[in-house]
Amino acid sequence: MASINLIEAFQDFKEAENIDRPTMMKVVEDVFKTLLRKKYGADDNFDVIVNAEKGDLEIVRRRMIVEDGAVEDPLAEIAYSEARKIEPDFEVGEELYQEVEILDFGRRAILAAKQTLASRISDLKKNVLVKKYGDRVGDIISAEVYQVWKKEILLLDEEGNELILPKSEQIPQDYFKKGESIRAVVKKVELKNNSPVIILSRTSPSFLAKLLEIEVPEIFDGLIVIKKIVREPGERAKVAVESYDDRIDPVGACVGMKGSRIHGIVRELKNENIDVINWTNNQQLLIQRSLTPAKITSMELDNEKHHVNVFLKPDQVSLAIGRKGVNIKLAQELTGLTIDVFRDNEGEVEEYDIDLDEFSDEIETWIIDELKRIGCDTARSVLDLTVDELERRTDLERETIEDVKRVVKEEFEKE
């Protein structure tokens, strides 16, 4: 059997477990039939026989034996006298099978064939990888940290495939070391320079959704459905759930006895606070639930402008807004409404106060809007907070805050 050293190329096939044998045989056959077409002009009368285990192949040429002088197609026919030189016992009308020496193709052609074969194998591996992870977008996988860089982490799956976890897809409190196993969700599969890049995420809402699916059998079984998830990774998340079975309390099922189900997820997400709320089509009720843990006194809803004014007791305002304004931001994402928070002083001894809008001639509108965003809609509500608190909760410069406090304070002194 004529042989060519293709063991390395075949080994590549074996390592790519998802490339099946028929595909492998077809690729090798295609590569060498291309060689045959270049040398003989056609490949119709040639058989390429591959032995993948030994890493070699055999090419056999088929021709019909015809009378001398009757050869019309040299590729498909051979003269009787020529056939007898190969084997004296041949007769006219028989088919002659002759092995083609691969070395006859020439060293350059053989080298080109090996390179083409390696390239085709590489392409097949890429396609297998793209299909494998393309089908798993949205699924959680575990992978081992192989290399930690400033902007991303390189991970390896159980088959040694490279995966990328960008810094932007990591929870701010995440810290990983080489060799550590981490969980993340497959976010997308990209092609860069014709090579597949699998992007993972730990900040995607789908990561939290899948963690809940793992921990809460009722979600996995479809008895409870997750209607919407909004997250500020590492800070807070709000999960709206609905039960298709009246006997099941969706919030209780997700939290578990004494928080047993949710605690593992909170740890995985680096102590991210998770508010699980009952989904409802009643918009006002949804707004109330979305601002958990704050309790609303009343609200003014404007559906046309997708806007709602929410009134709360003074001690509930900071709860509604949350640390760094995260709670109200997530409530807005969950409801799809713009929410403005106001203090409700009903039932209290009214203390003289001034609406912050009254200072629009001395304080720029955008500054007033920023203060309103954190619930400071009156002069006294601004004075009640320290400069440090206002600086921490708003995007305003310290100097600007000091100017605002000075302006409103002077107004009260005039009175």
- The pLDDT score that the predictor gives to residue 4 is 47
Q: Is residue 279 part of a domain?
A: yes
CA distance 223 to 294: 29
Q: Which domain holds residue 225?
A: 206-338
pLDDT attached to residue 1: 35
DSSP state for residue 369 in the 8-state scheme: H
Distances 387 to 15, 87, 322, 402, 404 between C-alpha atoms, Å: 64, 104, 18, 7, 10
Q: Is 127 inside a domain boundary?
A: yes
CB-count exposure of residue 365 (10 Å: 0-12, 13-18, 19+): exposed
Do 226 and 276 lie in one domain? The reply is yes
| pLDDT value of position 7 | 44
Q: What is the CATH number of the domain that holds 236?
A: 3.30.300.20
Handedness of CA 207, 209, 212, 214 (dihedral sign): negative
Nearest C-alpha neighbor of 232 from the set 199, 252, 208? 208
Number of H helices, E strands in the chain: 15, 15
Residue 351 lies in a domain: no
pLDDT of residue 351: 57
Whether 171 maps to a domain, the answer reads yes
Token pair in block for residue 218:
């009722």
Phi/psi of residue 204, nearest 5 degrees: -65, 140
- Examine the fold and report which residue of 187, 203, 219 is the final residue of a domain before the chain moves on: 203
* 211 and 333 together in one domain: yes
- Specify whether 243 is located in the same domain as 306: yes
Q: What is the domain count for the chain?
A: 4
Q: Are 14 and 110 in the same domain? A: yes
> Are 193 and 115 within one domain?
no
In this structure, are 121 and 198 located in the same domain? Answer: no
* CATH assignment of the domain containing 171: 2.40.50.140
**Which helix (H) or strand (E) is 85 found in, with range?**
helix 80-86
Burial class (CB in 10 A: 0-12, 13-18, 19+), 91: exposed
**pLDDT for res 252:** 92
Per-residue pLDDT of the chain (415 residues; tens, 9 = 90+): 334 455 455 555 545 545 566 667 777 778 777 877 877 777 777 877 776 565 567 788 788 888 887 878 777 788 888 888 887 877 887 888 877 777 777 777 777 777 777 777 777 777 778 888 888 999 999 999 999 999 999 999 988 889 999 999 999 999 999 999 999 999 999 888 778 899 999 999 999 999 999 999 999 999 999 999 999 999 999 999 999 888 899 999 999 888 889 999 999 999 999 999 999 999 999 999 999 888 898 899 888 888 999 998 887 888 888 877 899 999 999 999 999 888 876 544 445 677 787 788 788 888 988 888 887 878 888 888 888 888 888 888 999 999 999 988 887 776 5
Same domain flag for 41 and 155: no
Shared-domain flag, residues 35 and 118: yes
Q: Are residues 80 and 56 in the same domain?
A: yes
Q: Which of 195, 186, 192 has the alpha carbon at shortest distance from 155? A: 186
Residue 253 lies in a domain: yes
Domain-located, residue 17: yes
Whether 346 is covered by a domain: the verdict is no
The domain boundary, picked from 131, 155, 190, lies at 131
Residues 196 and 219 in one domain: no
Domain boundary among 188, 203, 218: 203
Asked if the structure places residue 348 within a domain, the reply is no
Q: Do 220 and 269 lie in a common domain?
A: yes
